[in-house]
Every structure is written in structure tokens, then in C-alpha cells.
Copies of this chain bind each other. A is one copy, B any other.
């Protein structure tokens, strides 16, 4: 493990891969990570939204405001 690993390095390595994103309000998105910035504003492609474990919407491209996110995890 590198001594100086930074959190955004992890997001950078996940670009183009499928990730799950959980929001503070309990909503979850699964999609391909297209972009993020230092505020953790995030764009997914081919995104599906789920609530309570069930897919509720297929959204295609979705911009998620960073301050509403709790976690991002490679699927």
C-alpha cells in the first residue's frame, strides 16, 4: 500500500467501470463512472436507480450532486 494514496485516486481508477453510488436519502445508483470532481459531483452512464432494493428507474446518463452522496464503490 502506498503511503500517500489519496481518496480521489480510487475514484480515478474506477473511471469507465461500473460503480454503485449511495445517496443520503437512501437511493442507490448503479452505472458506469464517467466523471467526478473534487466536490464528488459524479456522472454515471447507463445508470439504474433503486430504492429499497428494487430498480425504480433506468436513467441513462445522470449527474449526481456530490454533497448528496455517502459512498461510491466499484461493483
Chain A contact residues, CB within 8 Å of chain B: 1, 3, 5-11, 15-16, 23-25, 27, 32, 34-37, 40-43, 47, 59-74
Whether B71 lies near A5 (C-beta < 8 A) is: no
In the complex, what's the smallest C-beta–C-beta distance from A4 to chain B, in angstroms?
8
Q: How far is the CA of A10 from the CA of B43 in the complex (A)?
A: 7
In the complex, what's the smallest C-beta–C-beta distance from A7 to chain B, in angstroms?
4
Whether B71 lies near A10 (C-beta < 8 A) is: no
Q: Which B residues lie within 8 Å of A65 (CB)?
A: 40, 66-67, 69-72
Whether A40 lies near B40 (C-beta < 8 A) is: no
Please pick, from B9, B35, B59, the residue contacting A35 in the complex, using a CB distance under 8 A.
Answer: B9
